[in-house]
Structure 1
Amino acid sequence: MATIKDVSDFAGVSQATVSRVINGTSSVSQEKKHKVEHAIKVLGYKPNSIAQALASSRTGSIGVIVPELGGAFYSQVLQSIEERLRQSGYHLVVTAGSNHEQGQKESVEFLLSRRVDALILHTQQLSDDYLIGLQEQGIDIVLVNRFIPELASSCIDIDNELGGKLATEHLIEMGHRNIACITGPLHKSDARGRLQGYRKALEEAGIAFDESLIIESGFTEETGASAMRKLLKRPHPFTAVFACNDHMAFGAFEVLHHAGFTVPEQISLVGFDDILFARYLTPALTTVNFPIENMSYEAVQLAIQKLQKSKHDVNFKLSPTLVTRESVHRLPQTL
């Protein structure tokens, strides 16, 4: 196996020069750089990753925090990020920070103790001030599915309001006017955005907003089921439901089924995220596509751009799209 001395002898330069080329720690003339790179290629030299990390203060790893490791949504997020990082020569170090602020702070501290080069954070629990403080300390961070004005150049967000509007507009176009909405936790910006899109679609269609048709839930199957039970007990009829993520839509569907309602003939249902299982529900779920792969690609590109101090085009705000399937029924027009 070739050594750094073999490379220096082959290239006719000092070992220190070879080290500077490999680690990029200081400038080297283009002529010497080309000689070293040619020698590395010919000899098949593989730098010692540990020594390289010590010399460059880089470990070639990027830390990622998500609220949980289970569930289809976060597994898709992690898979997409890992694929992009690997293609770019970086390794993924992941931890689940739970849905609590303290747990996510502990995850940040754990990753920083492992000397990751940057952080990609999918978190709604950490405060704006805490995240701003991380960046002010010189830590390279990228936030996904979240926007903080002071960190605008570090945020990859999706237009949640547009997604909520697309879902509700589709139901309105299919003749529905009494549309219930199961929201996510409204302390989370993505849940607020989707509810705002729902309200905007109603307003533009001239449909009065009815607070009794809104249930705040928790982005899980269990809370979606609980929300649907509450809606069915209220004396306010509805012909359609917009569940602000697919997991809640699955829970709502199960309750409707056991209560004797057919989807979509009696109650239409729309979700949000377009996770894999949405297409296998019977009937297949109409939903809003969360552009996970695009978001992951942009987040990785932005993290690498920060590390390499380079400039590339980054799409900081992604647009969701409606995916129509079989869970929405067109109501007959009334005169």
Structure 2
Amino acid sequence: MNPTIKDVANLAGVHPSTVSRVINNDSRISEKTKNKVLLIIKKLGYTPNAIARGLKTKRTHTLGMLIPDITNPFFAEIARGVEDAANKNNFNVILCNTDDKLKKERTYLEILRGKRVDGLILGTAHIKDKSILELEKKKFPYILVSRNIEGLDKNCIIVDDVEGGMMATEYLLKLGHRRIAHITGPLKIRSALNRLKGYKLALKKYEIDYRDELVGEGDFRIKGGYQVMKRFLKLNEPPTAIFAANDLLALGAMQAIQKKNFRIPEDFSVIGFNDIELASFVYPALTTIRQPMLEMGELAVKMLLRIIEEGEFNQRRVILQPKLIIRESCKK
């Protein structure tokens, strides 16, 4: 059985409230008493109950984070930024994976609030997301990262996905490609829609007709990119270049191309989005659009703590700029 605060108090010959004050570094406790209590805490292996302390202090120094796919390196990198920044501020992080399902999102939100987390960082938002609108209504501290939803124009950190989509497509156009395909992310997610919008705007700028057969919806996973690219390869007139809405989709497309013994970039040019670490290690190294993932995670914590500690609930919407990273997967 785990030792309790009363066990510590009995051995130290003090009241449990004195033990609590020692744990919270109360300056009113003498050095002699403090050292005695700390020695017994160490001897017993006593660990303070964070939730019980939170009931008194109304703080648990714990943040909840929801991501849609823990296997996606993009979200893993953001989570790393969140954890690093949280630890620097003496906060812990509980990480939950929703598989991009609203039902799991709702369940985890209930669990995390039951554990009395001080705030939430959410990378799971769909375009219409009642659970997040409910957080807004109840003024529960939250920050959206990488995604935002209809009806909310604050408390979020996103990259300029429209600009990024234009940047990727325009790079291929400048290389001379005119039949450019796009593998989108799930179109229930605003970032996927905005990258598609950027693709369309770039085509329009260069007076290239938009063609439905050159756009396929993926799932932000390697398998999704592979399946959509297989369909493109069966077209009577396949594309010469592919813009994938994230790097995993691009890797899947590359696999489908190479499996048919075509070459990249000689036969097909491929560009991704995110710049996960793996993008620079595949062959050929993937040209992509970089998002500042670590920075997004760190900034999310900074903004969330401003809400928690200073009550500044209406944080601005932060839009970060994407950057073209040219490697070896595209050619004239």
229-238 or 109-118, larger mean C-alpha shift? 229-238
Aligned pairs for 1:167-246 (under 5 A) are 167-246=168-247
Q: TM-score, normalised by structure 2?
A: 0.83
Give the superposition deviation at 1:208: 1.5
Distance 1:66 1:126 in 2: 15
AA partner of residue 232 (structure 1): L
**Partner residue, 1:260:** 261
Distance 2:131 2:155 in 1: 14
AA partner of residue 142 (structure 1): I
**Partner residue, 1:333:** none
Distance 2:226 2:150 in 1: 35
Distance 1:183 1:291 in 2: 20
SS at the partner of 2:273? coil
Contact 1:298 1:314 in 2 (8 A): no
Of 319, 326, 331, 1:329 maps to 331
**Partner residue, 1:320:** 322
Compared CA separation, residues 126 and 104, structure 1 to 2 (3 A): farther
SS at the partner of 1:175? coil
**Partner residue, 1:152:** 153
Distance 2:316 2:89 in 1: 16
Compared CA separation, residues 130 and 281, structure 1 to 2 (3 A): same
Distance 1:266 1:151 in 2: 43
Distance 1:118 1:74 in 2: 18
Distance 1:318 1:201 in 2: 20
Give the superposition deviation at 1:176: 1.0
Matched, 1:64 2:42: no
Distance 2:278 2:84 in 1: 21
Distance 1:220 1:99 in 2: 12
Q: Render the CA deviation track for 1:260-317: whole Å, top value 9, x for unaligned.
A: 2110011111011111110011110000112111211221111100001166996711
Contact 2:126 2:148 in 1 (8 A): no
**Partner residue, 1:142:** 143
Give the superposition deviation at 1:243: 0.9
Contact 1:298 1:316 in 2 (8 A): no
Compared CA separation, residues 183 and 313, structure 1 to 2 (3 A): closer
SS at the partner of 1:196? helix
Distance 2:93 2:133 in 1: 23
Compared CA separation, residues 112 and 126, structure 1 to 2 (3 A): farther
Q: Name which structure has the greater RCO, CA cutoff 8 Å, separation 6+.
A: 2
Aligned pairs for 1:22-33 (under 5 A) are none
**Partner residue, 1:285:** 286
Compared CA separation, residues 204 and 73, structure 1 to 2 (3 A): same
Q: Render the CA deviation track for 1:140-163: whole Å, top value 9, x for unaligned.
A: 111111224643231112111111
Contact 1:221 1:248 in 2 (8 A): yes
Distance 1:80 1:194 in 2: 24
Distance 1:254 1:71 in 2: 17
Distance 1:70 1:241 in 2: 23
Across the aligned residues of Structure 1 and Structure 2, the Cα RMSD in angstroms comes to 2.8
Give the superposition deviation at 1:69: 1.9
Distance 1:99 1:148 in 2: 14
Compared CA separation, residues 138 and 289, structure 1 to 2 (3 A): same
Q: Render the CA deviation track for 1:85-127: whole Å, top value 9, x for unaligned.
A: 1011110011112221111110111111111000111113484
Compared CA separation, residues 237 and 151, structure 1 to 2 (3 A): closer
AA partner of residue 262 (structure 1): R
SS at the partner of 1:283? coil
Q: Render the CA deviation track for 1:197-249: whole Å, top value 9, x for unaligned.
A: 01111111121112211111111111111101100111233211101111111
Compared CA separation, residues 126 and 264, structure 1 to 2 (3 A): closer
Distance 1:110 1:283 in 2: 44
**Partner residue, 1:250:** 251
Compared CA separation, residues 113 and 314, structure 1 to 2 (3 A): same
**Partner residue, 1:26:** none
Q: TM-score, normalised by structure 1?
A: 0.82
Q: Which runs of 5+ in 2 are unaligned?
A: 1-16, 39-46
Distance 1:283 1:148 in 2: 36
Distance 1:308 1:316 in 2: 20
Distance 2:318 2:131 in 1: 21
Distance 2:317 2:90 in 1: 22
Distance 1:314 1:292 in 2: 19
